[in-house]
Amino acid sequence: MEKSFAILEGDGIGPEIMGEAIKVLKAVEDKYGHNFKLVYAPFGASAYFTHGSPFPEKTKNVCDEADFIIKGPVGLAVEEMHQIPQEHRPEHAAILPLRRRYDTFANFRPVKLPAGLKSFSPLKEEVIGKGIDILMIRELVGGIYFGDKIEGAATGMKFARDDCVYTDKDVRRVAIVAFEEARKRKARLTNVHKANVLATARFWREIVEAVAEDYPDVPYQSVLVDNAAFQLVVNPTQFNGVMLLENMQGDILTDQAGGIIGSLGLMPSACIGPEKGYVEPAHGSAPDIAGKNTANPYSMIGSVAMLFEECLGIPEEARDIWHSIFQIFEEGFITRDLVSPWQSNKKVINTSDFGDRVVQKVLKA
Ligand code: IPM
Ligand code: MN
């Protein structure tokens, strides 16, 4: 297969975890005889300092021309972020514009913890039971993130307002993607919302439930977001299958999910639009450990696996990667983010060692 990828390394640990992900991508390319073209482009807070914008025009062109985009985490230390004017902060001037540009409405965030790796989780082993396997699907280009943001003053008081808007098209298309995924997995779909309070959530639930009628074979349940947060901790495996979330609630619960499986370093993601999309770790750029070769590259390498499976439709290549990663963990190796008092028998390896081991195993698989 011939494909071209824009590579946006991002900030902080971005370049080092991207380096490992690209090693793995190249191993897969060799093994399966693909032909991948990689074009690197600046993106994120450091791109603001070097190019005057966190999403420079040149990068937009590179992304437009590529088939897909592989993006690292973005953001620098607080003091440096404070030197960036609000209108050039990467969240508002790079990440949201990237999502909007390619209309990446479906954000897949898998939450995987096989039973054999129960000790990664801060939860009791009995709570993890048969293992966690949830695909969280977060709506990514609507809701409060993209509504009007207003700061003003009226009748002697200052105020700020964020509008939350969902159209029927926004909700229907992501609901269809979620039901299709649940059907593929022969799994249940849990629809998360706050319909007891918000108009947008009642609207969301109504449309999702109309879509559900076309999927009578997919077991469906609806849960309020506050209760979902509680249930995720006391009994996460009840959600094995697909969880569908709107943008803001999805942002929050996917971080919580990272905590439940033991590290945000275990959270890859794919952001899928009608024509193209991008993959990225769901976590930040961890500037405090940048350049130390200690970051966990799982989420970046896993994002490449998701690119193969969800974006390019080559699941065998993705399976090789997942299999290799989980084998490394099963052999007792972990990265520093997974160190905890209940994991003292594990062997800690660094970023590049982890990547090298994935490459070796992929080539042998
Ligand atoms: C994420 C991040 C982003 C979000 C930020 C960096 C804008 O937290 O991808 O989860 O809130 O969507
Ligand atoms: Mn987030």
Per-residue pLDDT reduced to its tens digit, 105-119: 999 999 999 999 999
Question: Under 8 Å CB-to-CB from 224, ≥6 apart: which residues?
Answer: 192, 193, 194, 195, 196
Q: How far is the CA of 26 from the centre of ligand 2 (A)?
A: 29
Q: Residue 297's CB: how many other CB atoms inside 10 A? A: 29
Residue 270 CB–ligand 1 contact under 6 Å: no
In this prediction, residues 267-276 reach a mean pLDDT of 97
Residue 171 CB–ligand 1 contact under 6 Å: no
Phi, psi of 51 (to 5 degrees): -125, 0
Asked whether the predicted pLDDT for residue 67 surpasses 90, the reply is: yes
Q: Which two tokens stand for residue 167?
A: 């159209």
Residue 309 CB–ligand 1 contact under 6 Å: no
Asked whether the predicted pLDDT for residue 151 surpasses 90, the reply is: yes
Give the mean pLDDT of the chain.
97
- Indicate if 48 belongs to the active site: no
Least confident of 179-188, 197-206, 225-234, 338-347: 338-347
- Indicate if 226 belongs to the active site: yes
Between CA 195 and CA 200 the distance in angstroms is 8
- Least Cα distance to 231 among 123, 138, 314, 333 occurs for 123
Closest atom, ligand 1, to C-alpha of 254: 10
Asked whether the beta carbons of 88 and 54 are under 8 A apart, the reply is yes
Asked whether the beta carbons of 283 and 267 are under 8 A apart, the reply is yes
Q: What percent of the chain has pLDDT over 90?
A: 98
Pick the catalytic residue: 251, 320, 337, 346?
A: 251
Asked whether the predicted pLDDT for residue 232 surpasses 90, the reply is: yes
Q: Which amino acid is at 212?
A: A
Residue 282 CB–ligand 1 contact under 6 Å: yes
Handedness of CA 347, 352, 353, 358 (dihedral sign): positive
Q: What is the pLDDT of residue 188?
A: 98
- Indicate if 145 belongs to the active site: yes
Residue 253 CB–ligand 1 contact under 6 Å: no
Q: Specify the residue with its C-alpha closest to ligand 1, atom 6.
A: 91
Give residue-wise pLDDT tens across range 36-57.
Answer: 999 999 999 999 999 999 999 9
Asked whether the predicted pLDDT for residue 155 surpasses 90, the reply is: no
Q: What is the pLDDT of residue 154?
A: 87
Residue whose entry in the numeric block shows the structure tokens 């021309």? 65
Between CA 282 and CA 284 the distance in angstroms is 7
Pairing between strand 241-245 and 188-193?
parallel
Asked whether the beta carbons of 257 and 138 are under 8 A apart, the reply is no
Asked whether the predicted pLDDT for residue 91 surpasses 90, the reply is: yes
Q: How far is the CA of 211 from the centre of ligand 1 (A)?
A: 27
- Least Cα distance to 36 among 307, 340, 336 occurs for 307
Asked whether the predicted pLDDT for residue 251 surpasses 90, the reply is: yes
Between CA 295 and CA 336 the distance in angstroms is 7
Closest atom, ligand 1, to C-alpha of 255: 10
